[in-house]
Amino acid sequence: MKTALLLVTSCLTAFTVHANASERYATRPPVVMSPDLSAPWVMQLRERPIGTSANIRDRVVLSDPPARGSSVHRREARRPARTEEAANPAVREVSFRRPAEPAAEAQPKKRSMDPKFLPQTVAYDGPQAPGTIVIDTSQRFLFLVEADGQARRYGVGVGKEGFGWNGTNNITRKAEWPDWRPPASMIEREKEKGKILPVHMEGGPANPLGARALYLGNTLYRIHGTNAPWTIGHAVSSGCIRMRNEDVTDLYERVKVGTKVVVM
């Protein structure tokens, strides 16, 4: 009996040694990695480098995409798409910053009128009688002469180079929110510059004649308002005297048809 047991033990020992020797040199099957690469045991393989994503999926490229319909594919379908910018912490930091303010020189400049052209009462010692309008085109001022050596002064825009004039006339007509019929010479002149003027424009805020107009004699010249108040104080018109709408309305109420107007 003892002899039989020793024989069986010797056979098993020989078989085990032979098997271990064979397995040492045998071709082993490839290691198959679990598709769930975010498992805790995988995350512990190495420390996360500074500045890289915490998700190992961002650092591992699968040779083949998971088959459609598999559990891995379904998980990927539910996960929101990650763009390169969203995965990069540096890009995220920049995207949440408040946009820089535009440079001061890039800001559009607000057009305004020089305050010296606002209405005010001034001393007057000229020869014209109270009630007369005197326009100083060189200084860009209109004076309404009053009693006691005073005058009400307004800033005006005057004729540009080549369109200035002087003389004496009377107000022959007054109109509120006048319509505009530019003369044929003006239409042709502006057309050569590439600007098309209307033959007729109804009165209103967009009309170049503004809120009020005082017509001078039988000429084409007027004292009128404007839709461009920042031009007051400049030589910009085709000969007319332009005022702010507020100012021409004030003057309109103070004068009547027949008022003398001296342009100098």
Annotated catalytic sites, by residue? Answer: 224, 240
- Taking phi first (over 0 means left), then psi (-120 to 50 degrees means alpha), and beta for anything else, what does residue 204 get? left
Distance CA 145, CA 127 (A): 10
From edge to edge, which strands make up the β-sheet containing 167-176? 120-123, 150-155, 141-146, 133-136, 260-263, 167-176, 212-216, 222-224, 241-242
The answer to whether 242 and 116 are in contact (CB under 8 A) is: no
Maximal C-alpha separation, the chain: 157
Distance CA 71, CA 67 (A): 9
Distance CA 48, CA 239 (A): 80
Residue type present at position 171: I
Distance CA 10, CA 22 (A): 18
Identify which of 250, 226, 248 has the alpha carbon closest to the alpha carbon of residue 237. Answer: 226
* Degrees, nearest 5: CA angle 104-117-236: 80
Supply 109's token pair.
């400049």
